[in-house]
Structure 1
Amino acid sequence: MSGFGLFAIYNQAAFLQYAASGWVWICAMSAAVVILTVFTFQLPPQGNGLSLDSSVYLACIFLFGPSFSLTVLLLSSLISFFLERNKVWWKQLNNFAVYSIMICTSSLTFAAFGGEEGPLLSYHLYAYTGSMAVYFILNTLLISLYYYVVFHENLYETLKGMLRDTLLAYLSTLVLSLVLTILVSHNEFVGLALFLCLSVLLSYSFKQLFAMYRSIEERANRDQRTGLFNHSYFETALEEAMRKSKADGSALSLAMIDIDDFKKYNDHFGHLKGDGLIVFLAELLKKESKGTEIIVSRYGGEEFTLLLPAHDTVQAKQFIERLRRMLNQSPFEGVEIFPQGCLSFSAGIAGYKPDVHEKSELVEHADQALYYAKKQGKNLVHIYGNQSPLEREIDFSQDVRDIEQQLNLFMYKDLETFKHSKRVFQYALDISRLLNLDNLTKRQFTLGALIHDIGKLEIPWGILNKKDKLTPEEWEMVKWHVTWGKKMAMTNEKFKDLAPYIELHHERYDGQGYPYGFKGEEIPRLCRMLTIIDSFDAMTTERAYQPTKSIAEAIVELRACAGSQFDPQLTEFFINYIESRAFPSEDITTQRSLQDTPLTH
């Protein structure tokens, strides 16, 4: 409403008072605005739209004043309204209001700096510069605010993107307003015609530049053999999709597809036929995802990824299952050599959650689900976390043995760390039962607790066993154990999903922890629980060179640090558990209260 109010105040129905000569100029300037609006162009890399019509409005301010400029705005807006009837009416009103605000405020600035209407005067450069600067700042802010309100875009990121992508082109618009002022002052309509020719040519050149950029970008983002997006584009798209999903809470799933027994087909028929099979599946994926938001990419070799915005894992599985059945029923040369007797793929699906901070985690989850689908006999679609309980328990026992073999290295380097890891593992087992965790989450939490200090193997013996206070440099080295531990886990396919427990168990609820300074629910819930368990065991462990707290003292310390170092709700949950162990007579009652305690994610 402020735009319409300013228009009424500054224009004061001036369009009723102009003589015929004034109306000639109003019509000429309005026509120039409409022509330049038609030649709106886009700028790389984001494709932000820009037209040079602002140079006409600014020139009108400098030559004829605000009332004249607003009349030109009114007439050009009416013409545009009839020319663009398919455009949403409220967007046209919004544009009118935005331009009214910019014109009125720039006029006020021009007058405040002592600017005089008429030919360009060099000694009033401050007035011209100030007016153009205000116009540009307001335009950037108002458009960014529009995207924030209508499309819920991040205001800071939108502002930064506009400044980065359009600054040079917008500066050209501002300079052109001075050029138009000079041309009209000295050559009147001939000058306006010359300005239009120059501006249209510039707009056309920008259009060609954008088309060329998009063509190069398209080639850079596409896999040449299949025409699908390539791995590099997938990485960028996944990062952006995760950012958007985290911001608005929308569902997001990632599916990884791998052609079954592709090597057998390749070896039997040769690479040329094998490439034909890859292209065949790529065409099917393109056809079925056309007209949707789904992004299909060739991940590498015979592997493909499908990024499915607004799809939870159940919806994603329904879509991928439909694709799988279609491929099974598709005739293709040489299918008789496949064990299934038809073309098939295996697929793994992972759903995004807010505590997944890195795109590599989501990819790893989907890859693990794909591995499980292959392991179960292929031609299957599996959702990450839906493994059978029996097989999960068998795998779990083997994983514990594998990790304990690595922890045995602590037996000679730091026996206390070995014992600490085993105790934390036992606490985690108890907590996982009390929380009724599913098998997958139980595996991750308990194994993560067992392996959480594995990075300390990289710390020199002298520092790890030092009885005196660590120097700042030594303490910084100790803090690196979470990063080293994560890297060690990432080298083993079976333990990649344990990396968050290793890397984040020293983050604090108040954001003062390390290595990232994550805060509150940015830290995965069970990583917050592991922090509590780890600290409690450290406080109650007997060591010759440090004071040991009793269980009661440790409980007091936990409560004192709840809300700062520890998650308050999880702290109370853990304290209830500890008290049930310390007072066996109350065990049954406390256990029930633990199971009945609701925990938010």
Structure 2
Amino acid sequence: MAGAAVILTVFTFQLPPQGNGLSLDSSVYLACIFIFGLSFTLMVLLLSSLVLLLLEWGSTAGKHINNFSIYCIMIASASFIFTALGGMQGPLLSSHLEAYVSAMAVYFILNTLLIGFYYYVVFHKNLYNTLKGMLTDTILAYACTLVLSLVLTILLYHNHMVGLGLFLCLSILISYSFKRLFSMYRDIEERFNRDPRTGLFTHSYFEQALEEEMSSSKISGTALSLAMIDIDDFKKYNDHFGHLKGDGLIVFLAELLKRETENTNIIVSRYGGEEFTLLMPGYDAAAARNFMESLRRTLNHSRFEGSEIFPQGCLAFSAGIAAYQPDVHFKSELVDHADQALYYAKKQGKNLVHTYGSQSLLEQDIDFSQDVRDIEQQLNLFMYKDLETFKHSKRVFRYAMDISELLNLDTLSKRQFTLGALIHDIGKLEIPWGILNKKDKLSLEEWEMVKWHVTWGKEMALTNEKFKDLAPYIELHHERYDGKGYPYGFKGDEIPRLCRMLTIIDSFDAMTTERPYQPTKSFKEAVVELRACAGSQFDPELTELFIRYIEKREVCGSEAAI
């Protein structure tokens, strides 16, 4: 029996997609419990562990000792449950099915918990994610292992060594088949995830990796940056030398990227055409910029046929960097930030690296008066559909202009905040006229439809390249500080700071303006309401800042009237 356990440990099988190894040795131990009892099973475990320790003596000794300890706990616990529920050593009895199932369940649960705890202590892995991953990847295969333990019990009791031999043959064939299957899976996965021309990861793989890394960064608090690069004047090179040479240039840059990131955890992907992305776990904005500047200089000094036709006289790329922040909830936002920084680098003369939100980017003298006019043209549609929404949007915009000065926002943030305030209710254009102008209280179904305006508005903004960065203001202005808002239930700092301020402004104007489904409040009553909801609906710090602004504004207004 000990020899069988050793053989089954050696002939493991790998499970797609992660390649987790799983052996059928647990089937041997469970069958021994059911037929021979606890003492015999522990003896089999000890002998098989000693053999494996001798075969793999060295760096893996500690691993075998840990495995032995875990198996002891699982075997002892399963045996105790089996006996406690009336299970009897010997042939498999259908009358004791509850004892068999319970023993196997305890064995599996302890296996999962103990291994998860081991990874948590030794490798500092997130315990919840580790357990979740183990259950997702192995539960079906483990269930098969447990069922096979019952098969082995029957074979071993009635056919002795012949039954054990048949079981080993079956297990070895399963192991071989799974290894072939996993190898085929890896081949297919490699073809799907790798760009055939450059050997870099594909766009689709990048999207998946970005989502995973953002989630990991959010949980662990580690830095994460995204860099997007674009070959400068690539079209000029293509037009001059032809597409074949152009493809050669793309491959040349790809090889350079692979070489320069070889000993890092940076994930390099071909985003499309002559654009590439570098997903950089563990890199903050400064570290990412230093790496990209070094990469840019390396490319500048690389020789490639025909590079003399470029305006810089050498190969060059422009790069945009965006560092992940806790208030970035969607991968599209991070990509958009990196893309904006890349666009600015191009606009400033190319062969440059720019970081989104860096001082040089924020100091742009952005004249967004044309953007205001463009948005107002869309808001004019409210003139015949819902005049109150039109006037409300204009008032919220004026409040936002004042608050942006009070917060001393940089030019870019001021543009986003004020334009976001102006366009925040644009999604209401999709709501039927009868609901927007209903005098009575909205029904539950009507209210659910109204709540969709944040999603519709976001989708409208994303269709316009100029207004994509306003989407968070549209989508998140009904989130609450306590997490009870919509559409996502974000809370606290999960909601971007200026979106939290927009929520206060929007609510204040709604309270102080006549609306069909709630009474109008005076400014003083609205201030009382804001304070009452600070910490639940509203950010308490920003609420007090807005109240000071309103009170000062009212005092100034009263003095002017006198």
TM-score (norm 1): 0.87
Q: Is contact 2:512-2:520 (8 Å) kept? A: yes
The aligned counterpart of 1:334 is 306
Q: Distance in 2 between matches of 1:499 and 1:241?
A: 22
Alignment CA distance shift 1:115-1:578 (3 Å): same
The aligned counterpart of 2:16 is 44
Gaps of 5+ in 2: none
Q: Distance in 1 between matches of 2:558 and 2:236?
A: 63
Q: How does 1:165-244 map to 2 (within 5 A)?
A: 165-244=137-216
The aligned counterpart of 1:112 is 84
Q: Distance in 2 between matches of 1:545 and 1:59?
A: 70
Q: Distance in 2 between matches of 1:543 and 1:76?
A: 78
The aligned counterpart of 1:99 is 71
State the Cα deviation string for residues 332-354 of structure 1 (Å, max 9, x = none): 11212211111111111111111
Alignment CA distance shift 1:343-1:314 (3 Å): same
Alignment CA distance shift 1:55-1:544 (3 Å): closer
The aligned counterpart of 1:283 is 255
Match of 1:514 among 486, 490, 494: 486
3-state DSSP of counterpart to 1:311: coil
Q: How does 1:565-580 map to 2 (within 5 A)?
A: 565-580=537-552
The aligned counterpart of 2:471 is 499
Tell whether 2:219 aligns with 1:253.
no
3-state DSSP of counterpart to 1:394: coil
State the 1:193 CA deviation: 3.7
Q: Distance in 2 between matches of 1:562 and 1:150?
A: 43
Aligned length: 559
Alignment CA distance shift 1:189-1:452 (3 Å): same
The letter of the residue matching 1:486 is K
Gaps of 5+ in 1: 1-28, 588-601
The letter of the residue matching 2:452 is W
The aligned counterpart of 1:450 is 422
The aligned counterpart of 1:303 is 275
Q: Is contact 1:387-1:440 (8 Å) kept? A: no
Q: How does 1:191-590 map to 2 (within 5 A)?
A: 191-386=163-358, 388=360, 392-541=364-513, 547-584=519-556
Q: Distance in 2 between matches of 1:500 and 1:448?
A: 8
The aligned counterpart of 2:135 is 163
RMSD over equivalenced CA pairs, Å:
2.6
3-state DSSP of counterpart to 2:116: helix
State the Cα deviation string for residues 255-308 of structure 1 (Å, max 9, x = none): 111111111211222211111111111111111111321111111111111100
State the 1:92 CA deviation: 3.5
The letter of the residue matching 1:279 is V
State the 1:369 CA deviation: 0.8
Q: Distance in 2 between matches of 1:545 and 1:132?
A: 60
The aligned counterpart of 1:594 is none
The aligned counterpart of 1:58 is 30
Q: Is contact 1:506-1:531 (8 Å) kept? A: yes
The aligned counterpart of 1:128 is 100
Alignment CA distance shift 1:557-1:113 (3 Å): same
State the Cα deviation string for residues 455-485 of structure 1 (Å, max 9, x = none): 2233344433343433444333322221221
The letter of the residue matching 1:484 is W
Q: Distance in 1 between matches of 2:432 and 2:173?
A: 68
Q: Distance in 2 between matches of 1:34 and 1:214?
A: 27
Alignment CA distance shift 1:122-1:471 (3 Å): closer
3-state DSSP of counterpart to 2:511: helix
Alignment CA distance shift 1:544-1:232 (3 Å): closer
Q: Distance in 2 between matches of 1:389 and 1:188?
A: 77
Alignment CA distance shift 1:36-1:430 (3 Å): same
State the Cα deviation string for residues 303-339 of structure 1 (Å, max 9, x = none): 1111000001111111111111111111111212211
Q: Distance in 2 between matches of 1:219 and 1:202?
A: 26
Q: Distance in 1 between matches of 2:30 and 2:295?
A: 57
TM-score (norm 2): 0.92
3-state DSSP of counterpart to 2:368: helix
Tell whether 2:96 aligns with 1:141.
no
3-state DSSP of counterpart to 2:349: coil
The letter of the residue matching 1:417 is T
3-state DSSP of counterpart to 1:382: strand
Q: Distance in 2 between matches of 1:574 and 1:544?
A: 26
Q: Distance in 2 between matches of 1:198 and 1:451?
A: 66
3-state DSSP of counterpart to 2:283: coil
3-state DSSP of counterpart to 2:509: helix
State the 1:56 CA deviation: 1.4
Q: Distance in 2 between matches of 1:498 and 1:153?
A: 37
